[in-house]
A = this chain, B = another copy of it.
Amino acid sequence: MVGCTLEFDVLEPSEIALQIAVAGPSRETLQVTGADGPIESVEVDRQHVVRAPAGPLTVTYQATVPPRTAVRPVTDLDRIVALRPSRYCPSDRLGGFAAGEFGTEPNVPTIAAWVFQRLFYQGGSSGPSTDAVDTMLSGAGVCRDYAHLVVTLCRASSIPARVAAVYAPGLSPMDFHLVAEAVVDGRWTVWDATRLAPRPTLIRIATGRDAADTALASTLSGSVILNQTEIFAIAGGDLPLDDHQSPVSLAH
């Protein structure tokens, strides 16, 4: 069972796009409560666009996710998009570095292990404008920075890669989590270079090129402050072990 509660201050009538719902089938509830006046919530491609008047706004989401193993195939369009550089994964800048570090036969497990070894997990060491180059240079980051660096080094090595925002049972402290997906042997596989949560029990929320695509909450118009976030993610049964070295796929 996974879910979250978000508390906003809406400073003027605003539109907010939320990415908190799980990607695949689930039994879920979404509650939006706020100031007097009409609150509208429409779903677009598993995002929820909330139109709210000024005042406090509380969003509560909860989902029970059945076991599933269906993994989407790698399409030509997936590969085209997942090889492009993006805001936080400027892979076009470091082709030479990747070739020097990973050679002519680059592989994803080696890249993910390199990122795990080279980075130091440190809350507050990065900000919203930090990109994968900044992270590689400073040697420190949080989950999004680890994911961005794996994705960037894969793309720079001509391996299609993207990010997935996930609920992560076992993560401590609990938070929204970001991991990398890369094509291995023609399949999408998931890599968490922080090694902070086992991959088999991750639950996908959103998929994108980098964190610009998976923001929890984006203001489309108006002005909004996100005051508080509570998240929970509980696996049914014990958490699985994960060596973080063999390929694992993330269901849709």
Contacts and interface: CB of A to CB of B under 8 A. Distances in A.
Interface residues on chain A, size class: 35 or more
Q: How many copies of the chain does the oligomer comprise? A: 4
Interface string A121-163: 0000000110001101111100000000000000000100000
A76 B17 contact: yes
A112 to B, nearest CB: 15
A42 B100 contact: no
Interface stretch (A53-61, A64-72, A83-91, A233-241): A83-91
A85 B83 contact: no
A171 interface: no
Interface of A is mostly: mixed
Interface string A156-181: 00100000000000000000000000
Interface stretch (A25-33, A44-52, A195-203): A44-52
A151 to B, nearest CB: 13
26 contacts: A17-B80, A44-B75, A44-B80, A80-B218, A83-B218, A83-B220, A84-B87, A84-B212, A84-B213, A86-B87, A86-B212, A87-B90, A92-B128, A93-B129, A93-B134, A94-B137, A94-B138, A95-B138, A95-B139, A96-B119, A96-B139, A97-B136, A97-B137, A97-B139, A100-B118, A100-B139
